[in-house]
Structure formats: C-alpha cells, structure tokens
Chain A
Amino acid sequence: MATRRGFLAGLMATGLTPKVSWADAGAPAYLAAAQLPDGAYNLFGLTDTGAEVFRLPLPDRGHAAAAHPTRPEAVAFARRPGTFAVVLDCAGGRIHATLEAPEGRHFYGHGAFSPGGDILFTPENDFENARGVIGMWDATAGYTRLGEFDSGGVGPHDTLLIPGTDVLAVANGGIETHPASGRAKLNIPMMQPNLSYVTIGGELLETVDLPRDYHKNSLRHLSVRADGLVAFAMQWQGDVTDSPALAGLHRRGGEMRFAMADAESHRRMQGYAGSVSFSDDGDRFAITSPRGGLVQVFSSDDAALVDTVESVDVCGVNAGPDGFLFTAGTGLISTPGMDLSRHAVAWDNHLVRIPSPVRA
C-alpha cells in the first residue's frame, strides 16, 4: 500500500510537458456524446456557444466522458454495464487507447483525471461481490491498469477530485446490479446510497449516509466547486409521488443540506435528476430532469430554488458563460435565457467541460 502511494505521488509530481494541447483539437470547451439520426453514436467537441468543433465515432452508446486536463484526449465510457472505454485523440481523430475493464468489473459511464492528468479514475462494479471500486489507469503509459480501491459503497456512479487535494468525492448510488440481469436493480428495499470521500491512495476518509427516509434516493451525480463544496443529484427509486429532495450540498466534515423546490416544481421533476452542475461563478447549482423537461437552479448559499428552465428531454448541464449550458435529447443546446443551437442529434446524458488552460 505504502509503495503504491509513493509510486502514485511520484507519478503525480512528474507532470509531463504536453506536446499537443486542446488547441490542436480546435479548442473545444465541452464534450458531449450523442446519437446521430442513423443510430450511430459520436463524441462531439463543442464551443462555449454549442457550435460543433469535431465529431468522432464511438463504438456504442456513451454516457459521460472524461477530458484530459491538458492533452486533447477524451475518455468516452460505454454506458453501464459497459466493459470498455475508448481514449480518443481529439486532435488526430483517432482512438488513442482502449480501456477494458478487468474480469469481474464493469464501468458506470463516468471517470475523472488527476489534476495533472497522469491518472484516470473510474468508478466500477465488482459485481460478484456487489462492491464498488475505483479503478486507476496510467494515463502516461497508454492507460494501463494501475490498480483499484474500495469506493466506500455499492454502485459508485460518478467521481470527481476535490480541487487542490488528493481526495475523490464518490457518489455511491447504492443500487446493486449484475450484468447477467441487464440493468435490473437488485436491492431496492435494502439500498443505502452514500457520498464518500476517498484519497487517491485508497484511504476512506468520510462516508456521509443519506437519512433513513432517503435510503431509496440513489445519489449518483456530482459537481464540485473550487472550494470543495460538493453538489449532488439523486434519483428516487420509490413511488414517484413520495419523492423527497433530488439534490443537495455537502462539504467535508459537514452535514448534508438538501435542495427541494416548491411542490409544483418538484413534482415536475418526476423523482429524477439526471445531471448536476455548479454555475460558472459557483453561486448556484442546477439539476436537470429529462422526464420533466425541467431544470431547477438552486442557490449554493441556502439551497433555495432561484430559477427554473424548461427544455424537453434536457439532461446535460455544465457551467457556461451565461451561468449554465444545457444539452437535450432533442438536439437543443441552450443557456438559462436563450436557445443557442439545435443539432440533428440526440445529446446523451452528460455535458463535460474541458478544463480551461491555466493562464500565465
């Protein structure tokens, strides 16, 4: 364990000088997967106004992607229970590497890079043991498997690094699945989702369980602010009319704070938040409900509802110049105040922001 940690620290410190940058891929601001009218799947690079910069073929339906912080590399994950991910060279338009989940593991569709981009972290299902793990891949050496550690719960769906730390926030959705049973949820009455904080050395620092009444609320998507505040989105697995809050905030060592709109607006979310993101200034955070065609925006200070935006089949959300940028299954890309463009594609669940280059 100590050896691996030492090795990781060394790897993180090395910081290779990138030969190519995102500028070589047309300087996209976002990545998003989409289904084309002919049924094929592509990964798109988009500008901050939603214009297409590039598109690259994907072998199957995607979910989310991870953008390398410096090199123009995007890791596109198959949706769960997918066992592959492709690393796309977005400048050269080629597949740079392919990740194959180890025997007995599958991906959940999300992943996160270490700040320097040396290591890729992937939430995975150790499905024979119904145990969540975070896989580590060496992004400096063709994405070879480095190892894995416990995610702190069942069904780790999304993970993000807390900026400026070596700590990952992990959304353990709590739902047990097994590839032999497709996407069937096997443990709803017993599920216990949590938000865990785990160091990249695999040390579990903190587990924040949801309250008893929330145990069927699958906490599975995350956004993190520069100061470490975490926003999370949930999907209610009980009767939809009983759905409690679908979003919340947490800071390490603190209590969870839940964000719930008035009854009318809350009802329209249909117990389902598909994605979550802080705004560009971090003052607000948004959750999306494709089922309700509704975005709810909450204050990061007191978790009060401050805005709603309607967009049919909206799911992807990230920070944007106008606060947020949204993508929808209808092909629409919009901001809270404006429809920006409509593409002849169905945008898939998530909109991923490419880290902006560090200014001198």
Chain B
Amino acid sequence: MLRNLLSGLALFVSAATASAYDIGTIIDRHVIPGYETLARRAVELDTAAQASCSADSHDLRAAYNAAFDAWVRVSHIRFGPSEDEDRAFALAFWPDTRGFTPRELATLIETEDPVIETQEEFSHVSIAARGFYAMEFLLYDPQFTAAEPEDYRCALVRAVARDIEANAEAILAGWQDGYAVVMLTAGENDTYRSREEAAQRFFGAVATGLQFTSDTRLGRPLGTFDRPRPNRAEARRSGRALRNVVLSLEGTRQLVRLLAEDSETVTDTLDAAYDRAFEQAKELEDDPVLEGVDDPQQRLKIEILQQNIDRIRELLGTSLGPLLGVGTGFNAMDGD
C-alpha cells in the first residue's frame, strides 16, 4: 500500500517537473543554433578579412558586425565550452578598464611581432589583443585603421579574424562533441546530478547575462549623474552600444521562454517585462552609442531602460527561480 502510494507520488512529481522545461529543447533550439550562427558568421568574417583587410572595406565591416551580433546573442551562455581555455574572454575582452586592448595591439604593430603568423602562436597572445573588441579598434579607431606598416596591420586584422573563427568553432565543437550530452544526461554524470541542476545552470546564465547588460553595458557609460562616462560605452567606435544591449536581451529572452515553457503566468510576466525594455530601447534609437548619458533628459531614458532590465532580473528571481527550484537563500544569493 505504502509502496504504491510512494511510487504514485514519485510519478506525479516527475511528471510535474518534466512538463516545465526540456533541456534537449533548450540545447537544440537555443544553444546549438546560436553557436552555429556564430561559427558560420565567424567563417564569413575570416573569408572577408582574407579578401580585403582594409579597415574601411564595406564587406569586412559588414561581416564583422554580423559575427559580433551572433556573439552577443549567445554571450550569456558562460559555462562549459565557452569557458574552456578562456575562449569567451578571448572573443570578448570587455570592459577594458585599463586600456589593455589598444596597448597590446600597438605593441604588436610596433614590434611587428611574428606571433601573428600562425593561429597556434596567436592563441597565446593576450586576450586583450584578440576577439571582437580588438577587431573593433583595428577597423574603427583612427589609431589603428591606417597604422604602419600596412602589411603588418593587414596581417593582424587577418590573424584576429582567424582567431575569432577558431574560438567560435571550438565552442560549437565543445557543445556538439560532448557538453550537450553531459547536460542531456544530467543525473547520470558528476557535472550535473539532476535535470534541475542543468536547468539552474541555464537560469544562472540568464541572470548573469542580464546583470552584465544592466550593470556594465549600461552602468559603465551612465557612471554617476555628476560624472557620466559616454566614452565607456561598449563598442562605441562601431556604433554598437545600444545594439548590443538589445541583442543581449533578445538572447536571454529566448532562453527564458524555453525555461518557463508551459508556465503561462511566468512566460507572460517575463515577456511583458522584456517588451517594456525593448520599447524603451526603441526610444533610444537615435542614440546608438548612448552618448546622451550626459544630457539630463536622454540620460533619464537610459536609466529607465536600465530599470526595465533590473525589473526583469527581479521577476526572474521571484517567478522563474522558484519554478526551477533555484535557491534564494539570503547569503546564497549574496555572493560576497
């Protein structure tokens, strides 16, 4: 009797949790397509750089922006293959509070360092001189767009493109060749002891991604009211600051929807909060680099966008978190 009751109960519990989300779906519809797009765009960037390394090449810049878009959409998935060998940092070293990127690039060019000749050697160069933010300096910053010697500058552009491609492909391969299985077989391996742990990992990715967008992508240029910092806006040279905010929100929203699957209340609540943030971002369309942080009225609009994002974060904790069994201990959530 007791046994029947217990097994019935167990069935009920597993059925209840199984309906909430599906790790396989998240991987198939969010992770893999996101990294596939990134890898494809990175190949195209490499091809474009081989065809023309000129900083003002329309094709090269278009390929660069397309690949950067693809990166930002998956930039919240910061665990597993993206963290192996610091690949994500090598793709995206920002914020660069000490100005490492221009310094490292200048040193490479000045010394005509042959380290750029092979991918193997270049992969050991400081992450500050690699990835999308280094490429932005090379394509958009007057200090580098016409740097001499031209041969070396051109070869450096190609080396950075090749390295972006290598990292993008390595992350995708990492998922396809093993990490996806690790997550799918949660409960049967030591990395994920249960499906809940795997879901919680994705939840953490959303939370961290939103925090980065609010605190760093918006917080750095906002600075303080008395001391706004428009020069600290992300990727302002290529005019991408607001674009990256929007793309990052799109990326986490897709993952939130998959995590909240079947819970209409949670989906609706979070969707509405995301909608408000997107609408607010539209208000800023005429300020793609967020330079309005030092204009009181424009600043207010940016602050409201930040508040909209913080509202999503709050709702994430109160609505989606409990659904996924995410601990909300006073100290556990504090992190200090």
Listed in ascending order, the chain A residues whose CB lies under 8 Å from chain B are 35, 63, 79-80, 109, 130, 176, 178-184, 186-190, 235, 238-242, 263, 267, 272, 274, 290-291, 293, 312-315, 328-330, 346-349
Contact = CB atoms under 8 A, between A and B. Distances in A.
B52 interface: no
Closest 3 interchain pairs by CB? A329-B330, A313-B329, A290-B331
B332 A186 contact: no
B313 to A, nearest CB: 11
A47 to B, nearest CB: 22
Nearest to B191: A241
Contacts of A267: 190
B215 interface: yes
B95 A186 contact: yes
Interface in B140-199: 190-191
A329 B219 CA distance: 30
Contacts of A330: 329
A214 to B, nearest CB: 14
Given A312-B329, A328-B331, A183 B97 contact: no
A227 to B, nearest CB: 29
A293 to B, nearest CB: 8
A181 B220 contact: yes
Interface string B77-108: 00110011010010001010110100000000
A299 B61 CA distance: 59
Contacts of A179: 224
B323 to A, nearest CB: 19
A329 B332 contact: yes
B191 A291 contact: no
A181 B330 contact: no
Contacts of B84: 239
Interface string B300-331: 00000000000000000000000000010111
A235 B335 CA distance: 9
Contact of B216 (A186, A239, A263): A186
Contact of A79 (B191, B224, B332, B336): B336
Interface residues of B, number: 34
Contact of B211 (A184, A186, A188): A184
Contacts of A291: 327, 329, 332
A287 B332 CA distance: 14
5 contacts: A181-B215, A181-B220, A189-B93, A315-B334, A329-B331
A189 B329 contact: no
A320 B330 CA distance: 23
Contacts of A315: 331, 334
B100 A190 contact: yes
Contacts of A241: 79, 191
Contact of A182 (B95, B97, B219): B219
Contacts of B219: 180-182, 184
Interface of B is mostly: loop
A332 to B, nearest CB: 12
Contacts of A178: 97, 220
A192 B211 CA distance: 23
A188 B334 contact: no
B222 interface: yes
A306 B191 CA distance: 25
A52 B27 CA distance: 51
A182 B95 CA distance: 14
Nearest to A240: B79
Nearest to A272: B335
Contacts of A263: 190
Nearest to A187: B97
B278 interface: no
Contacts of A188: 89
Contact of A189 (B89, B191, B229): B89
A288 B202 CA distance: 25
Nearest to A157: B336
B329 A329 contact: yes
Contact of A349 (B80, B95, B331): B331
A184 B100 CA distance: 19
Given A184-B212, A241-B79, A329-B332, 5 more contacts: A180-B222, A184-B219, A186-B97, A346-B330, A348-B331
A58 B217 CA distance: 32
A326 to B, nearest CB: 11
B239 interface: no
